[in-house]
Amino acid sequence: MCKVSDFLDISFPKVHIQFSDIKSTTYFGWFQAMMRVKMVLKSLLNCFVNFVFGFMSLIINGDRPLARIPPVKNPIIFESASSLARKIRSRQLKCQVVVEAYIQRIKEVNDLLNAVVSYRFNEALDEAEHIDEMLDSGDVPDRYSEKNAPFLGVPLTVKEAFSVIDQPNTSGLVNRKGLMSDRDAPIVANLRRAGCVILGVTNVSELCMWYESANFVYGRTNNPYDVRRIVGGSSGGEGCILGGAGSVIGVGSDIGGSIRMPAFFNGVFGHKPSPGVVLNSGQFPTAGKERDCMLGTGPMCRFAIDLEPMLRIMAGNYGLSKLKLDNPVDLRNLRYFSIGDDVRLNLVSALDPELKKAQEQVRTYLETSLGVTVQRIQLHRLKYSLDMWFSLMSNIDNESFVNLMGNNGPKVYPFWEGVKRAFGMSTHTVPAIMLGMIEGLDKLMPERTKRLLEKLQRFREEIENILGEDGVLICPSHPKLAPFHNAPFLYPFNFAYTAAFNILSLPATQVPLGLSAQGLPLGIQVAANKYNDHLTLAVARELEKGFGGWTAPVGMGLHHETIEQSRA
């Protein structure tokens, strides 16, 4: 029988207010007392919000929250992409068998998750058959050699915002419904040439500018660990299908955390590369060169071993030479820094206690296993990361978001759309309408924007000097575990931890760290200086060894030995 407590997420804070604090007549004593009262009120508000949204989920979804995605029965699903590529090429596995396994898995979970929004299963099976025939014949053209096609036969899913031939490319905008791509985005073309077999495209937030993936073209995507909860955005469908074991590697893009937050909420790996390494073209909304300092197109994977080869393929001739992926990394010789567990960012929730504990465990693991020191540092400018992000976005955005809402056609009036939305008549989501309403506010305060951009420049210089060429920075991926659906409306600024590395133009890797007491994914980010992506990827592989990496949702029948073999 269901208990109401099964649907509600309530954890009361352990906060103690000493009477002596309130009794104190000194200003400092009163200040301390008021700050503690403020902490209590915020914690109680957080409990109330969790209760309300949990209860809403119970009313709206009935017993649906108890639905679990089915366990994985096919051991192929627990192989990394790198392992699959080796076994397909050596004929230990047939490409058709691998592709069929993933198609079956998507069919098993997608009704619950709504992650893959358009399939190309028939085409994928035809491509797999061709690969098997070619490899069986022994007559393999040079373009399909291991050097040129390192992921030959490996299944792939792609964020719907990217152009994929004969697949939709709406970015969740109703005005683009029915629009099909006639070409591949450059990074999709690179992955095809590398031998990947595309299974379909995955859901996004409307116009890729919100951190819940829901729109009026495809609907809402549900978290594989708890379908009451969000998958993140804008690459939320991609993170979801990876976390639910319906894909092994995927493509995302990230301008404020759109790779790393979905990777965190769904318990997988995600990497935002250094700027100018991977081409951002071929996606909608269009990624102009002005955004290249912030926007990163990068890999999302279940296994850390696949991040580097995917990044190589995606960068291709465009940006691979800027990276140092061939440089050996001795983790014992790196300098380690940690921030976030003792810093409060403006307008951002306090860090969840379990995430604090996970970050502390990361520090302990690195110090114990590598014999290094993880130095705690405070970056005071970090608290202004959101203000700087909005100012930089305002400064570089030449294309109006309101024009994008209208698909550069008839003008859209956000306030009128807000009225229509109240009566269920608008085709736009509330986040898109709200963003349209506030667009351009920073341009009304040019002096403030100028000051923030100057502060950002000093922030960049500070962090670059701290990290140098051998430093890595450990930081939360998000302050809260995966929230309930719609809860981001109450926490709209909680993307500050990921946005910080977009404005700093630094590479950052989200690393899963197992599951919380509620069975929700834990994780942290690892960042480094520009073009030092190889350092964050090496640390990600090490933390996967220490914490297990991707952990299957409860009830999925984890085959630990099979997973460990695939990571080798």
- Catalytic (active-site) positions: 159, 234, 258
Q: Nearest CA to 97 among 68, 135, 149, 69?
A: 135
Which tokens belong to 142?
């040079």
Please, which residues have CB within 8 angstroms of residue 312's CB and are 6 or more apart in sequence? 150, 320, 325
Q: Is 439 left (phi over 0), alpha (psi -120 to 50) or beta?
A: beta
Quick count: other Cβ atoms within 10 Å of Cβ 407?
17
292 within 8 A of 322, measured Cβ to Cβ? no
Q: How far is CA 506 from its chain centroid?
A: 16
Rounded to whole angstroms, the Cα distance separating 276 from 245 reads 31
Quick count: other Cβ atoms within 10 Å of Cβ 500?
31
The one-letter code for the residue type at 166 is D
211 within 8 A of 496, measured Cβ to Cβ? no
Q: Is 555 left (phi over 0), alpha (psi -120 to 50) or beta?
A: left
77 within 8 A of 105, measured Cβ to Cβ? yes
Rounded to whole angstroms, the Cα distance separating 106 from 101 reads 9
Rounded to whole angstroms, the Cα distance separating 299 from 281 reads 15
SS3 of 116, please?
strand
Q: Nearest CA to 557 among 77, 206, 53?
A: 77
Rounded to whole angstroms, the Cα distance separating 514 from 520 reads 8
Which tokens belong to 431?
């986040």
| Burial environment of residue 198 by CB neighbours within 10 A (0 to 12, 13 to 18, 19 or more) | buried
Alpha helices, H only, 423-477 = 430-438, 446-467
DSSP code at position 78: G
Q: What is the DSSP string of 182-250?
A: SS--HHHHHHHHTT-EEEEEE---GGG-SSS-EETTTEE--BTTBTTB---SSSHHHHHHHHTTS-SEE
Q: Which residues in 45-184 belong to E strands, given as ranges?
A: 116-119, 155-159
Helix H, strand E, coil C: the string for 85-101 is HHHHHCCCCCHHHHHHH
Examine residue 553 and say whether the peptide bond preceding it is cis (omega within 30 degrees of 0): no
Which tokens belong to 421?
């939305």
Rounded to whole angstroms, the Cα distance separating 250 from 237 reads 10
Cα radius of gyration rounded to whole Å, the chain: 23
Rounded to whole angstroms, the Cα distance separating 123 from 371 reads 51
